[in-house]
């Protein structure tokens, strides 16, 4: 068992801060985003059972439901209802104060107008998505099926899981090559001039050796107004207890060896990293972060504390 | 040898899958039609390619809207306000109802054959139906409004007069003993079930929905177990006319040891009956002349069971023995007129020709409603004793639950055939259905017994407040979900 107790909450921090702040120093270093051989061997071994929703990845499949809710509601909520070029008579009224102050019938009317506009805007959208560390493609496939997504590119460093992803894609005729494609590549090897509306990194940062490097490579590939969505795990007792001790060893709902505690990144560390890097701070904003927890008989559920256990984060490029 | 031939036939048929669909619904009953209309009405699911397959003909349903038969048909159900609201709000189909052939009613009087003072009145105040307890409506009227809505939207395929002959799983062919045979070829990689139809077509579908009634071929294909039992009773239905129109809009239900007998109001002087009876009694009810039948209904709503048993005995020997007419009239004449008017339904004067029919009563519940790429709705998932008029209504709430799960699945970019999508449908509907099935089963068992101590208990009990409350609670639970 990992000597968790010996590790006081702050003990691992300097190392991670170092990792997170390594961005600048690494300008022309070799593949900083590459995964260790150990990590890749682990995921390669899981490839064949990736899509068995009752198999080793069931918990990831269940989590996918919640993260799709997170992505959908975030994108929908932050649609720009009135573009500068929108003619005045077509503008949707957005009161400059809380809607709750208005009488109910008026409030409902305004909400309904706004929702209809959101539907219309989404219907017209054709978003391009990059899924980094796509694994067997659980999230990539879901994103590709959304009506407002034009195309998804999934990348990973494990060739076996990508094979599983490609094989599974063939089981759904609506997932044509123009909608969904996969590529065995490190993120920094992707053409940085090609931008995406959404870049996702789910359950991935905790598996890489240089998370800050990966994150900054991701940010480079986002369109203005676009989004980076990540999910990972706080480095705390709850995480260790639920994901490693209970998840891997006691309940066996997660394959043993999936997680390494030292690699977990705290929610506030990401925020701090953004704040301390001026170029990042100027153009990116953490719009939302939500904790989530797995309840065995229920599934995944949002919590009010993004600082405990697993969390999702939405970062928007504003400039 | 036979096995090999059959396997080859299967392989050959499934080799030419003519179409891919997102949803294939088997069954054009109220549940199947409602699902199709609901999927096509929701802006989240209307893009799904859907086909509905029905073994029988839908012609009389299609013509019902324009040209309904003169008399009420004998399959009439009581629709709850929830079902009506669902058809109004979520399907937008209620506008197509034939208004002249539905009857809103506000209360039901239930009383016991063993103890004439034991009676309970249920009214709309016990449910949240805004002054309406339920609506009496022909099955065909419901099917017709759903079909009108589907036609209005267009964009889906309905194949009637087309039977599902077989359903095969492309990845699980029948065990192949002949190793030299070609492996089964289907659309490469697709693990979707293939539905083979009597018109020669084979459709491969992302999601297969069984709305195919009690014997559900889809349920059998999916290997889902269904548990339950036959009640050893038949539901005898008929369309009748009362002596004159009853302006009170009341339904009547009398608990007899043979099972409950209900008279439910339709427009004007029309009404419908559901008479749960032993096989022996149901035989008699179907064989006797219309005149005797009318008298029997009146007698069964009013007279003591001893008298009724005597009359049944006579008719068992000779179903045309008109001496029972006088017998019944004589016994009825002994009840005070004012009591008859106050405590019993209006007398029946006529039964519509050929409207008498019987259905075996049973209770069944599937262990689950879903399997990979399969969902069950309506009677395919559960059948219930008709005493609380819930069967069709449960199917409508199944549809609401399934559509909700599918909408969520679409919003999440899921493959809607995945159990990850379908599971929430089961967890949202199974427990309530199970409770309702249990309640109706209990009610049936309390009342339909001639096991003496229990009858005695019921007789004494129904008068005492305690028992009344239990029964009332059970009934309200079952009617007001
Ligand atoms: C006496 C009686 C009284 C009732 N009273 C009430 C009441 O008051 N209130 C109420 O809510 N409910 C009542 N019910 C129950 C109600 O009638 C049923 O619950 C309802 O009709 C079930 O609808 P469904 O669409 O699920 O199934 P069904 O109506 O059974 O439809 C199934 C359809 O599937 C088709 N099918 C089957 N196999 C195949 C195949 N292989 N290929 C193609 N098609 C196929 C059949 O042709 C059929 O049309 C009563 C039932 C009885 C017996
Ligand atoms: C737990 S899985 C998550 C898969 C997927 N994102 C999901 O949530 O469904 C982690 C994946 O990240 C991949 N991975 C690890 N390090 C990586 C790196 N440096 N670059 C790209 N992918 C990496 C692994 O191969 C593995 O497929």
Res B457 pLDDT > 60: no
SS3 category, B98: coil
Contacts of A141 in chain B (CB under 8 A): 413, 415
Partner-chain residue, chosen from A142, A149, A173, that has the shortest CB–CB distance to B414: A142
Query: In sequence order, which residues have a C-beta less than 8 Å from that of residue B322 and are 6 or more positions away?
Result: B289, B291, B292
List the residue whose alpha carbon is closest to atom 33 of ligand 1: B27
Select, from the ranges A287-301, B105-119, B416-430, the one with the highest average predicted confidence (pLDDT). B416-430
Contacts of B20 in chain A (CB under 8 A): 173
Among the residue ranges A252-261, B11-20, B366-375, the one predicted with the least confidence is B11-20
Q: Would you state the pLDDT for residue B73? A: 93
Q: Would you state the pLDDT for residue A6? A: 34
Res B286 pLDDT > 70: yes
Letter string b/e over residues B109-126, b meaning 16 or more CB atoms within 10 A of that residue's CB: bbbbbbbeebebebebee
Q: Judge whether B115 lies within some domain.
A: no
Count of domains in chain B?
Answer: 2
Q: Judge whether B413 lies within some domain.
A: yes
> CB–CB of A46/B393 below 8 Å?
no
Partner-chain residue, chosen from A68, A144, A172, that has the shortest CB–CB distance to B412: A68
Inspect the interface and report whether the beta carbons of B414 and A65 lie closer than 8 Å.
yes
Task: Tell me which residue has tokens 């979520």.
Answer: B90
A33 CB less than 6 Å from ligand 2?
A: yes
Q: If you measure from the C-alpha of residue B379 to the centroid of ligand 1, how many angstroms do you get, rounded to a whole number?
A: 6
> CB–CB of B297/B273 below 8 Å?
yes
Say if residue A191 carries a ligand binding annotation.
no
Contacts of A170 in chain B (CB under 8 A): 188-189
Whether residue B56 sits in one domain with residue B159? yes
Ligand of minimum distance to the alpha carbon of B214: 1
Whether residue B279 sits in one domain with residue B234? yes
Q: Would you state the pLDDT for residue B477? A: 61
Whether residue B256 sits in one domain with residue B188? no
* B405, B423, B440 - which closes a domain: B440
Ligand of minimum distance to the alpha carbon of A137: 2
- Chain A residue closest to B45 (CA)? A147
Whether residue B244 sits in one domain with residue B298? yes
Q: Judge whether B472 lies within some domain.
A: no
Q: If you measure from the C-alpha of residue B293 to the centroid of ligand 2, how many angstroms do you get, rounded to a whole number?
A: 75
Distances (CA, A) of B19 to B14, B111, B188, B200: 11, 55, 14, 12
Render pLDDT for B124-175 as a digit per residue (tens, 0 to 9). 666 665 667 789 999 999 999 999 999 999 999 999 999 999 999 886 544 4
Among the residue ranges A159-168, B382-391, B418-427, the one predicted with the least confidence is B382-391
pLDDT in tens, chain A (319 residues): 333 333 333 333 333 343 444 433 333 444 555 667 777 788 877 888 899 998 888 999 999 999 999 999 999 999 988 887 888 788 888 887 887 888 888 888 888 888 999 999 998 999 999 999 999 999 999 999 999 999 999 999 999 999 999 999 999 999 999 999 999 999 999 999 999 999 999 999 888 878 888 899 999 999 999 999 999 888 766 666 666 666 666 666 677 777 776 677 888 888 988 888 888 889 999 999 999 998 877 889 999 888 888 999 999 999 8
| Three-class HEC string of chain A | CCCCCCCCCCCCHHHHHHHHCCCHHHCCCCCCCCCCHHHHHHHHHHHHHCCCCCCCCHHHHHHHHHHHHHHHHHHHHCCCCCCCCCCHHHCCCCCCCCHHHCCHHHHHHHHHHHHHHHHHHHHHCCEEEEEECCCCCHHHHHHHHCCCEEEEEEEECCHHHHHHHHHHHCCCCCCCCCCEEEEECCHHHCCCCCCEEEEEEECCHHHCCCHHHHHHHHHHCEEEEEEEEEEEECCCHHHHHHHHHHHHHHCCCCCCCCCCHHHCCCHHHHHHHHHHCHHHHHHEEEEEEEEEEEECCCEEEEECCCCCCEEEEEEEECC
Say if residue A150 carries a ligand binding annotation.
no
Backbone angles phi, psi at B371, to 5 degrees: -145, 170
Output the domain CATH number for residue B319.
3.30.9.10
Inspect the interface and report whether the beta carbons of B413 and A62 lie closer than 8 Å.
no
Whether residue B347 sits in one domain with residue B372? no
Q: Would you state the pLDDT for residue B468? A: 54
Q: Would you state the pLDDT for residue A48? A: 83
Domains of chain A by range and CATH?
Answer: 33-81+127-317 (3.40.50.150)
Backbone angles phi, psi at A71, to 5 degrees: -65, -50
Q: Judge whether B116 lies within some domain.
A: no
SS3 category, B72: coil
B138 CB less than 6 Å from ligand 1?
A: no
Using CB atoms within 10 Å of the CB of residue B453, give its burial: 0 to 12 exposed, 13 to 18 middle, 19+ buried.
exposed
Backbone angles phi, psi at A268, to 5 degrees: -70, -25
Residues B29, B218: Cα–Cα separation, whole Å: 15
CA distance B409 to chain A (A): 8
Residues B40, B44: Cα–Cα separation, whole Å: 9
B57 token code pair: 């003909």
Domain of B149 in residue numbering reads as 2-73+140-225+367-440
Q: If you measure from the C-alpha of residue B391 to the centroid of ligand 1, how many angstroms do you get, rounded to a whole number?
A: 8
Length of chain A counted residue by residue: 319
Which residues on neighbouring strands pair with residue B234, listed in sequence order? B277, B360
The pTM of this model reads 0.88
A286 and chain B in contact, CB less than 8 A: no
SS3 category, B331: helix
Q: Would you state the pLDDT for residue B25? A: 98
For a ligand 1 pocket test, name from B34, B38, B55 the mutation site with the most ligand atoms within 8 angstroms of its C-beta.
B55
Backbone angles phi, psi at A131, to 5 degrees: -110, 110
Using CB atoms within 10 Å of the CB of residue B366, give its burial: 0 to 12 exposed, 13 to 18 middle, 19+ buried.
buried
CA distance B124 to chain A (A): 29
Q: Would you state the pLDDT for residue B126? A: 63
* B359, B380, B399 - which closes a domain: B359
Residues B79, B266: Cα–Cα separation, whole Å: 13
Whether residue B382 sits in one domain with residue B318? no
Res B479 pLDDT > 70: no
Q: How many C-beta atoms lie closer than 10 Å to residue B240's C-beta? A: 24
> CB–CB of A208/A32 below 8 Å?
no
Terminal-to-terminal C-alpha distance of chain A:
46
Residues B439, B417: Cα–Cα separation, whole Å: 32
- Chain A residue closest to B410 (CA)? A146
Closest CA to B203 of B159, B161, B153: B159
Using CB atoms within 10 Å of the CB of residue B18, give its burial: 0 to 12 exposed, 13 to 18 middle, 19+ buried.
exposed
Whether residue B295 sits in one domain with residue B235? yes
- Chain B residue closest to A166 (CA)? B189
Contacts of A167 in chain B (CB under 8 A): 189
Render pLDDT for B60-96 as a digit per residue (tens, 0 to 9). 999 998 899 999 999 999 898 889 999 999 998 999 9
**pLDDT > 90: percent of chain B:** 65
Q: Would you state the pLDDT for residue A238? A: 65
Whether residue B264 sits in one domain with residue B146? no
B274 CB less than 6 Å from ligand 1?
A: yes
More confident residue, B314 or A304: B314
Whether residue B332 sits in one domain with residue B251? yes
Q: Would you state the pLDDT for residue B234? A: 94
Q: Would you state the pLDDT for residue B119? A: 74
Q: If you measure from the C-alpha of residue A133 to the centroid of ligand 2, how many angstroms do you get, rounded to a whole number?
A: 3
* B325, B359, B393 - which closes a domain: B359
Whether residue B27 sits in one domain with residue B152? yes
User: What's the mean per-residue pLDDT of chain B?
Assistant: 86
Whether residue B348 sits in one domain with residue B241? yes
Q: Would you state the pLDDT for residue B187? A: 43
Among the residue ranges A3-12, B35-44, B47-56, B302-311, the one predicted with the least confidence is A3-12
- DSSP per position, B140-160: HHHHHHHHHHHHHH---EEE-
A188 CB less than 6 Å from ligand 2?
A: no
Inspect the interface and report whether the beta carbons of B188 and A170 lie closer than 8 Å.
yes
Q: Would you state the pLDDT for residue B309? A: 94
List the residue whose alpha carbon is closest to atom 14 of ligand 1: B391
């Amino acid at each position: 068992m990992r000597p968790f107790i010996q590790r006081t909450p702050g003990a691992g921090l300097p190392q991670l801060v170092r990792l997170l702040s390594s961005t600048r120093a690494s300008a022309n270093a070799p593949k900083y985003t590459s995964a260790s051989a150990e990590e890749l061997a682990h995921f390669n071994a899981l490839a064949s059972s990736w899509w068995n929703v009752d198999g080793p990845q069931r918990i990831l499949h269940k989590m996918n439901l919640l993260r799709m809710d997170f992505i959908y509601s975030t994108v929908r909520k932050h649609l720009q209802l009135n573009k500068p070029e929108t003619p005045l008579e077509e503008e949707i009224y957005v009161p400059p104060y809380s809607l709750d102050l208005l009488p109910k019938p008026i409030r409902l009317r305004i909400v309904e107008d706004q929702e209809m506009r959101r539907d219309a805007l989404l219907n017209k959208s054709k978003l391009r998505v990059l899924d980094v560390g796509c694994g067997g493609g659980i999230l990539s496939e879901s994103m590709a099926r959304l009506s407002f997504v034009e195309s998804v590119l999934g990348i990973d460093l494990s060739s076996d899981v990508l094979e599983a992803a490609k094989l599974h894609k063939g089981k759904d005729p609506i997932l044509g090559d123009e909608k969904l494609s996969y590529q065995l590549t490190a993120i920094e090897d992707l053409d940085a001039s090609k931008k995406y509306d959404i870049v996702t990194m789910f359950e991935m940062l905790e598996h890489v050796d240089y998370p800050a490097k990966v994150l900054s490579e991701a940010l480079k590939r986002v369109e203005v107004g676009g989004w980076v969505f990540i999910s990972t795990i706080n480095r705390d007792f709850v995480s260790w207890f639920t994901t490693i001790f209970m998840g891997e060893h006691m309940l066996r709902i997660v394959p043993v060896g999936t997680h390494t505690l030292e690699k977990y990144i705290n929610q506030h560390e990401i925020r701090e990293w953004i704040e301390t890097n001026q170029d990042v701070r100027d153009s990116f904003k953490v719009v939302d972060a939500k904790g989530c927890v797995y309840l065995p008989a229920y599934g995944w559920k949002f919590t009010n504390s993004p600082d405990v256990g697993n969390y999702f984060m939405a970062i928007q490029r504003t400039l | 040898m036979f096995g090999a031939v059959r396997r080859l036939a299967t392989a050959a048929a499934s080799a030419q899958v003519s179409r891919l669909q997102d949803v294939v619904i088997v069954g054009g009953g109220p549940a199947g039609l409602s699902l199709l209309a609901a999927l096509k009405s929701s802006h989240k699911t209307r893009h799904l390619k859907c086909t509905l397959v029905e073994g029988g003909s839908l012609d009389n349903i299609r013509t019902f809207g324009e040209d309904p038969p003169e008399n009420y048909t004998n399959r009439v159900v009581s629709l709850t306000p929830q079902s009506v609201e669902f058809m109004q709000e979520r399907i937008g189909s209620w506008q197509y109802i034939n208004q002249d052939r539905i009857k809103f009613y506000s209360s039901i009087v239930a009383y016991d054959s063993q103890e004439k003072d034991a009676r309970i009145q249920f009214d709309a105040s016990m449910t949240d139906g805004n002054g309406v307890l339920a609506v009496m409506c022909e099955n065909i009227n419901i099917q017709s409004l759903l079909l009108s809505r589907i036609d209005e939207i267009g964009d889906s395929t309905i194949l009637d007069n087309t039977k599902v002959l077989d359903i095969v799983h492309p990845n699980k062919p029948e065990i192949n003993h002949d190793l030299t045979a070609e492996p089964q070829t289907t659309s490469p990689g697709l693990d979707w079930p293939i539905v083979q139809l009597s018109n020669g077509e084979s459709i491969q579908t992302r999601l297969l929905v069984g709305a195919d009634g009690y014997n559900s071929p889809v349920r059998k294909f999916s290997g889902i177990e269904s548990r339950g039992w036959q009640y050893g009773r038949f539901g005898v239905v008929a369309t009748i006319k009362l002596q004159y129109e009853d302006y009170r809009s009341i339904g009547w239900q009398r608990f007899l040891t043979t099972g409950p007998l209900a008279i439910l109001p339709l427009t004007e002087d029309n009404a419908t009956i559901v008479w749960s009876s032993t096989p022996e009694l149901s035989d008699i009810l179907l064989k006797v002349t219309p005149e005797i039948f009318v008298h029997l209904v009146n007698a069964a709503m009013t007279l003591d069971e001893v008298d009724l048993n005597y009359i049944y005995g006579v008719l068992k020997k000779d179903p045309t023995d008109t001496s029972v007419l006088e017998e019944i009239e004589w016994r009825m004449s002994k009840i005070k007129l004012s009591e008859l008017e106050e405590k019993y339904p209006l007398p029946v004067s006529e039964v519509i020709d050929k409207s008498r029919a019987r259905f075996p009563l049973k209770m069944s519940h599937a262990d689950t409603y879903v399997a990979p790429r399969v969902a069950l709705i309506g009677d395919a998932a559960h059948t219930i004793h008709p005493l609380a008029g819930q069967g069709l209504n449960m199917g409508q709430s199944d549809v609401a639950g399934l559509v909700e799960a599918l909408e969520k699945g679409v919003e999440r970019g899921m493959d809607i055939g995945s159990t990850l999508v379908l599971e929430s449908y089961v967890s949202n509907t199974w427990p309530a259905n199970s409770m309702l099935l249990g309640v109706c089963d209990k009610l049936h068992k309390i009342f339909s017994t001639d096991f003496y101590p229990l009858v005695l208990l019921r007789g004494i009990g129904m008068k005492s407040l305690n028992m009344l409350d239990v029964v009332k609670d059970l009934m309200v639970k079952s009617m007001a979900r």
